Structure 1
Amino acid sequence: MNIKPADKTIKALLKSGRQFMIPRFQRDYSWEKKNCEEFLDDIIKCLKCKDGKLETTSYFLGTMLFIGNFDEKSDKEIQVVDGQQRITTITILFSAISDIFREKGEDNLSKLIFSYIMTSDDDGNEVRIIKSESSYPYFSYYIQDREKMVKQEPSSEEELCIQTTYRLFRSRLEEKNLKDFMSEKCDGFQNDISLIDILKAIRDQILNCIFISISTDDNTQAYRIFEILNAKGKKLAAIDLIKNRLFEKLRKTEPADYAKCKWDELKSIINECDLASVGIGTYYRHFWNSCYKQTGASLLYDRFLSIIKTSDYESFLDSLVQNAKYYVQIIKPTRDDYHNRKEYFWLVQSFNVLSNYFGIAQVRVVLMALLWVKDNNLISTKDFKQVILFLENFHFAYTAVMSGKANKLDGIYSKFSIAIRKSSSKNQTKEIILSKLYACLTPLIPTEEQFTEQFISLCFTKKATAANMKCKYALQKLNCYYQKKEIFEDDSSIEHILPECNEGNVTNIGNLIMLEGNLNTEADKIDYAEKLKVYEKSTYKWVHDFTDKHPVWEEEMIGNRARSMATLYYHKILKI
């Protein structure tokens, strides 16, 4: 094997005159706050104070793996196979230090440290020492431009991570924060040491860090070493290993880089979710459990290797991208997804309820499969609507009201989703829904007594809470029942019949009703006799039913009404 190991310092690496390319198969920059803080803490703790001056000590940064020959001419790129996260973090830290130097009037020091971020070729043209396609141009503008002439907001998970890391370093390197930390962690530290001298010492400590450089000019060797290093050290996420494997086997880049194009499309789709809790890793686990086999996060890569044939990698990527589109429709539903057609308003509402009212993640496994069979004309319109609404009602009762255990559903949902994707007809799909979904979930539905005891504790307060969303949903569904509609009223708001400012049980669902927003404002805190005049203006049938039955309203009535609402809901709305 043509492998060249060598001891190097960070200074030698960044001053080698080479440009370091982050390969197409590499994961995005993803170091979390704790990783960056640990790195900076370790660097600072290495500094020793002697005779009022800071001195560096040895620090080992581990192993880094490169594709390329450091002995060849310097205009040829070196690919970073393992070490990207560390080199990128160092670059961000140097950019932060450079900016502080400049702000403190130390422009020469600012330029000198920036030479480890940007260099120049023989013609004087600026060259980025780190070159990454996935974060371009954000990384270039935000980190690699000393002037920071172009302002750009992060538009992906990776870009947000870069911004967060830079801001973290700027905060940690503020004089007070830095000196407070060093007073506690650095032996003999003297508080009169200037901020500039501290930053210079941190710079030198990083530049003197030692690592083992392993380089090879053979791509296959690099991929294999990458997997060996990962197996022995801290494991990468399954999605990073899977990406590495796909890109290793799908190497063709002309006339187009199929793997990279598909992966970029996947990232773009998932980024549309715009939720911190949803990344490619989360999506992939749901996708896999929906299509192949229920699998825990730790076994996803092994299962991928054992189940997916190399010859199927392209079709696997196609499926990964297509299901990602379904995933976004589920998590961030809009009427535009269905060209604003009224017959799909209920579906948008149902997806919104499951994702944003109840916050249920594992149901996405089923919903992706249902959207797939719908697109492939393997389910009737009636059955499709019926099963989605069943899931909505089930999760209100089982999850929102009863706080049922989510892990009871994982196996049911995965087996059902895999089975339904193998269906060859609408009739077969219906049979699978009956035998593998309804039959499995029905025993988990609470009894009327169980449901009622939890339902009557639902509350809605001014303070935003997850419990508020459950109560709001129940009230909207009850209002729809009286209105004989399936879509929530756009102008509705929650009215506290006895004002919320009163003490007692006034936030309980038994004291709540839906009312038009303008009438809710008008009713506000007036007494019940006056509120009746406002309620008479409402177009909601539920409001008039309530006033007909309750010419007088007192706190003692709240509990009984809550129970009546639970009974009505269980028999007339759940229907499961």
Structure 2
Amino acid sequence: MENVWKIGSRWSDDGKRDSSIISIFRRSNVVFLGHKNCIERFKNEVKKGDYFAIADGLFVQSVAKATSDPIQLKELIKQNAIKVKEGEPFDLEDDWGYGVKVKIVDLPKDQMLNYKRGCFFKANSIAEKVKKLFNEKLEHRMDITAKTCRIKGKQGECNGKESIINGRTRYVIPVYQREYSWGYEQIKRFVDDIFKGFWGVDRKIIKEPLFIGTMQLSYEKYINENECEQDVIDGQQRLSTIICMLKYLKLKYPSAEALKQIGSLDWIETRVNNGKEEEYLNTMLSLDCLNNTDLDTEQNQYIRSIAVIDECFKEMTTDNEGNQIAEFSENIDSFVEYILNDILFVVIETVAGLSKTIQIFNTINTAGLDLNGDDLFKVRLYEYLHDIKGLGEETFNEIGEIYKNVKTRNHKWRKTHNWDLIDIRLVRSIYKEYIISKYKLPTSLYAKATDTFFDELFDVLLNVQGHNDMTGVERVELSLEDLWNIIEVACLWRGSDFRNNDEFIFYTLIERSRYSRYLSIAYLILLSNKDKQKEERLDEVYCVLRLLCRMFFCWSIMYARQVNEMLSLMRNIYNKTADFQNNKEDICSSLTEKIKENDNRMFRTNCIGQPIADNRVWKDLICLLSDYMDEVEVGTPLEELKDKFEWGYYDIEHIHANCNEKEGTDINGDLQNSIGNLMLLEYDINRSIGNLPFKEKKERGNNKLCYKDSCFAVVKKIMQEENWGKEEIEERRKEEIEKISRFIFEDRE
């Protein structure tokens, strides 16, 4: 059974208030101690899975769960697992203690627990409360408050508006946020708006308050009585631009009195991009002069922003001769005070777990995170791996590598192709079907949209809320390995060309059928046999597609829509693909039996032989298969076949034009619109010949397009006919029905 330990967060012998290292714990996802009287017990008794009540003084401010056994501090430091900022009360030379990796849940003020002093001991009296607080992870809380804030008001002046720079709050841009990315247009618009508010269009100082939107912050996370942290959920682009502007003003106008009230600019921290973004931020904050930054080569976006701000200021504060406008140079302090006091935000603070926090953000729908399905999946997968599986913050960067890999593959692919090889939406779609198949979840879930499926899956896995139709999803285990495997499989399938004509027609008939969605079965089969050689894996896919194309052909021309019988059958087939090697024979047998159900006179006469001209799917499938079999007979190469069957290249031609009186109008509509009188023909030829009589369609003078210009085998076959009337149409219909029936029902591997 897991123990619950109380551990202090002050790194000093006398427990000084300013020695709290809770920020290091949070940033590093580690708790550690160095008290000589406690080290042995910590090392020997703490185990992976134990809980911690992290206390500062007399109360517990955070709870945590160990994701590792105890590790020497020097080893954690060697692993770069302990992340310390300058000025914090821990020296990386203090490597003589022990620590464990943990997942931390910070408590809102109203959930903090009063508890006794001490460095490290068992917290039996609050053990159940600590476990409950950790395991709920605030997912059953949703508290929202809003307030109007300015950047920094004058001391003693509030006027109902709090200050962003308040001397106690450190703003943390969490790991799941994107990098600082505002470019020239956004920054220029921001600076222009500030100057318009300061002196209008006439350059007469008016100081009209400027509202720049909302920010969403987490609840305050306690450091000590005088200091706290808040995560920036939305607004980091504006907040980062503001800190760049304040740095610029300090460098440009160092003697301005109004700037002295700002103090240091160390109140923002970013955990994005595995420390790289923090490095860029600190480099910008350490600038001691305004250099001429080359915007085309500078990689540091914070420094690029300062250069853009400088350019905008020069444009706004100098006249046509480049001289400083007196109205500005004489009122620098007034301008700075305007920025600090009269730029207003609405700050929304939320007490909730990450999933509900993101839901709140999505409802507010401001302009920070791009919460499309792909980005939301990234955040919630990180939350699952971090909170449920106990992985560290580096996991978000590992997820980011998957997204980056997809972009890299597409960039490389695009050098020789005009389409993308893969995208994250496809990866998620495959993952949805893989999860349902692997865990034998209700087959109705296949019909859910990918975004909806993952929204509800994460709701259940993260204990946010239940969904009645998500039965059994508690058993699902998500992993990054799954995603890497899916990417490899997707690239293998989409990057592989057809090896012969049969593979091409199998794929094409499914693609043109009413059931094209089920081409995705290829991914599931490939995932089930990833240890085999590529050619053998592809053979297994086409073994199934060979049967599916025949079955879908039948059901697509029997009905004018998808039918539940097919949907139900395919869901059951999909659920067998996770163990394809053991279920292959069963899958193929069930498909074969389904095809044989239509091997009868009714199907031949009433389906293949029916009038099909008014139904796009019917006429396309039947005419395409008709020509394909003629192409095979004359030995058409694969590449030529692919060109001929390209969408938009061909049209469906009525050989006999009943509306042409010269041709004769003795053929009824059913026969006129049957396969006996229809064939593939190049689009431009079909439009050129219109409703001409048969003989003129075959041969025309003056180099006008006609049948003899066609490359289709079926047209060349028709060209051998002297006349084309009722007798010829009936005979061809009979021949085509038998030819197509042989392909469907007399399959030979």
TM category (shorter chain) comes to 0.5 to 0.7
Name which of 593, 616, 628 aligns with 1:477: 628
Task: Count how many residue pairs are aligned between Structure 1 and Structure 2.
Answer: 435
1:258 aligns to what SS in structure 2? Answer: helix
Deviation at 1:528, TM superposition (A): 3.2
Within the alignment, does 1:212 sit opposite 2:340 as a pair? no
Name which of 205, 229, 247 aligns with 1:121: 247
Match of 1:529 in 2: 695
1:458-511 CA distance string (max 9 Å, x none): 567xxxxx7886577445434435436684625535366569999688998655
Within the alignment, does 1:258 sit opposite 2:429 as a pair? no
Q: Which amino acid aligns with 2:380?
A: L
Name which of 208, 216, 225 aligns with 2:353: 225
Deviation at 1:567, TM superposition (A): 1.4
Match of 1:9 in 2: 148
Name which of 285, 288, 291 aligns with 2:435: 288
Deviation at 1:420, TM superposition (A): 3.5
The 1-side partners of 2:659 and 2:225 are apart by 80
Match of 2:587 in 1: 433
8 Å contact kept, 2:651–2:680? yes
Match of 1:494 in 2: 650
Q: Decide whether aligned partners of structure 1 residues 329 and 395 sit closer, same or farther in structure 2, where only a CA change above 3 A counts.
A: farther
Q: Decide whether aligned partners of structure 1 residues 78 and 491 sit closer, same or farther in structure 2, where only a CA change above 3 A counts.
A: same
Deviation at 1:64, TM superposition (A): 4.3
Match of 1:47 in 2: none
Give the TM-score normalised by structure 2.
0.43
The 1-side partners of 2:226 and 2:500 are apart by 61
Q: For 1:152-171, what aligned pairs fall within 5 Å after superposition? A: none
Q: Which amino acid aligns with 1:422?
A: D
8 Å contact kept, 1:496–1:511? no
Q: Which amino acid aligns with 1:251?
A: L
Q: Decide whether aligned partners of structure 1 residues 443 and 536 sit closer, same or farther in structure 2, where only a CA change above 3 A counts.
A: same
Match of 2:383 in 1: 244
Q: Which amino acid aligns with 2:578?
A: R
Q: Decide whether aligned partners of structure 1 residues 397 and 228 sit closer, same or farther in structure 2, where only a CA change above 3 A counts.
A: same
8 Å contact kept, 2:656–2:694? no
Within the alignment, does 1:552 sit opposite 2:723 as a pair? yes
Q: Decide whether aligned partners of structure 1 residues 346 and 467 sit closer, same or farther in structure 2, where only a CA change above 3 A counts.
A: same
Give the TM-score normalised by structure 1.
0.54
8 Å contact kept, 1:9–1:207? no
Match of 1:396 in 2: 553
Moved more, 3-12 or 566-575: 3-12
The 2-side partners of 1:277 and 1:380 are apart by 23
The 2-side partners of 1:325 and 1:9 are apart by 50
2:392 aligns to what SS in structure 1? Answer: coil
Match of 2:91 in 1: none
Deviation at 1:231, TM superposition (A): 7.8
Q: For 1:193-212, what aligned pairs fall within 5 Å after superposition? A: 210-212=346-348
Q: For 1:123-202, what aligned pairs fall within 5 Å after superposition? A: none
The 1-side partners of 2:382 and 2:567 are apart by 25
Structure 2's unaligned 5+ residue stretches are 1-60, 62-106, 110-143, 153-162, 182-207, 253-264, 278-292, 297-341, 364-370, 412-418, 463-471, 661-668, 700-705
Q: For 1:371-520, what aligned pairs fall within 5 Å after superposition? A: 371-377=526-532, 384-399=541-556, 402-405=559-562, 407-423=564-580, 428-439=582-593, 447-452=603-608, 456-457=612-613, 470=621, 473-474=624-625, 476-483=627-634, 487=638, 489-490=641-642, 492=644, 494=650, 511-514=677-680
8 Å contact kept, 1:495–1:515? yes
Q: Which amino acid aligns with 1:457?
A: A
The 2-side partners of 1:15 and 1:129 are apart by 14
Deviation at 1:245, TM superposition (A): 0.9
Q: Decide whether aligned partners of structure 1 residues 501 and 484 sit closer, same or farther in structure 2, where only a CA change above 3 A counts.
A: same
Name which of 62, 65, 71 aligns with 2:218: 65
Match of 2:525 in 1: 370
The 2-side partners of 1:56 and 1:569 are apart by 80
Deviation at 1:566, TM superposition (A): 5.7
Q: Decide whether aligned partners of structure 1 residues 539 and 404 sit closer, same or farther in structure 2, where only a CA change above 3 A counts.
A: closer
8 Å contact kept, 1:66–1:78? yes
Deviation at 1:571, TM superposition (A): 0.7
8 Å contact kept, 1:455–1:566? no
Match of 2:737 in 1: 567
Match of 1:323 in 2: 486
Deviation at 1:363, TM superposition (A): 0.9
Deviation at 1:129, TM superposition (A): 11
8 Å contact kept, 2:151–2:165? yes
1:551 aligns to what SS in structure 2? Answer: coil
1:94-127 CA distance string (max 9 Å, x none): 9xxxxxxxxxxxxxxxxxx995596453775999
2:175 aligns to what SS in structure 1? Answer: coil
The 1-side partners of 2:294 and 2:509 are apart by 42
Deviation at 1:451, TM superposition (A): 2.3
1:23 aligns to what SS in structure 2? Answer: coil
Q: Decide whether aligned partners of structure 1 residues 25 and 57 sit closer, same or farther in structure 2, where only a CA change above 3 A counts.
A: closer
Deviation at 1:395, TM superposition (A): 2.3
8 Å contact kept, 1:519–1:535? yes
Q: Which amino acid aligns with 2:218?
A: L
Q: Which amino acid aligns with 2:650?
A: I
Q: Decide whether aligned partners of structure 1 residues 22 and 62 sit closer, same or farther in structure 2, where only a CA change above 3 A counts.
A: closer
The 1-side partners of 2:568 and 2:432 are apart by 13
The 2-side partners of 1:148 and 1:449 are apart by 75
The 2-side partners of 1:382 and 1:368 are apart by 13
8 Å contact kept, 2:438–2:575? yes
Q: CA RMSD of the aligned region, Å?
A: 6.2
1:567 aligns to what SS in structure 2? Answer: helix
Deviation at 1:540, TM superposition (A): 5.3
The 1-side partners of 2:223 and 2:634 are apart by 74
The 1-side partners of 2:620 and 2:505 are apart by 14
Deviation at 1:318, TM superposition (A): 1.5
Which has the higher relative contact order, 1 or 2, with Cα contacts under 8 A spaced 6 or more apart? 1
The 2-side partners of 1:454 and 1:277 are apart by 43
Q: Decide whether aligned partners of structure 1 residues 452 and 435 sit closer, same or farther in structure 2, where only a CA change above 3 A counts.
A: closer
Match of 1:50 in 2: none
The 1-side partners of 2:245 and 2:656 are apart by 64
Q: Which amino acid aligns with 1:447?
A: F
8 Å contact kept, 1:498–1:511? yes
1:339-370 CA distance string (max 9 Å, x none): xxx73665466445544x44746414422122
Q: Which amino acid aligns with 1:227?
A: S
Q: Decide whether aligned partners of structure 1 residues 71 and 558 sit closer, same or farther in structure 2, where only a CA change above 3 A counts.
A: farther
Q: Decide whether aligned partners of structure 1 residues 229 and 149 sit closer, same or farther in structure 2, where only a CA change above 3 A counts.
A: closer
1:20-50 CA distance string (max 9 Å, x none): 63533889x9xxxxxxxxxxxxxxxxxxxxx
Larger Rg: 2
1:177-215 CA distance string (max 9 Å, x none): xxxxxxxxxxxxxxxxxxxxxxxxxxxxx9756443147
The 1-side partners of 2:395 and 2:214 are apart by 39
8 Å contact kept, 1:3–1:214? no
8 Å contact kept, 1:291–1:421? yes
Q: Decide whether aligned partners of structure 1 residues 514 and 377 sit closer, same or farther in structure 2, where only a CA change above 3 A counts.
A: same
The 2-side partners of 1:20 and 1:390 are apart by 56
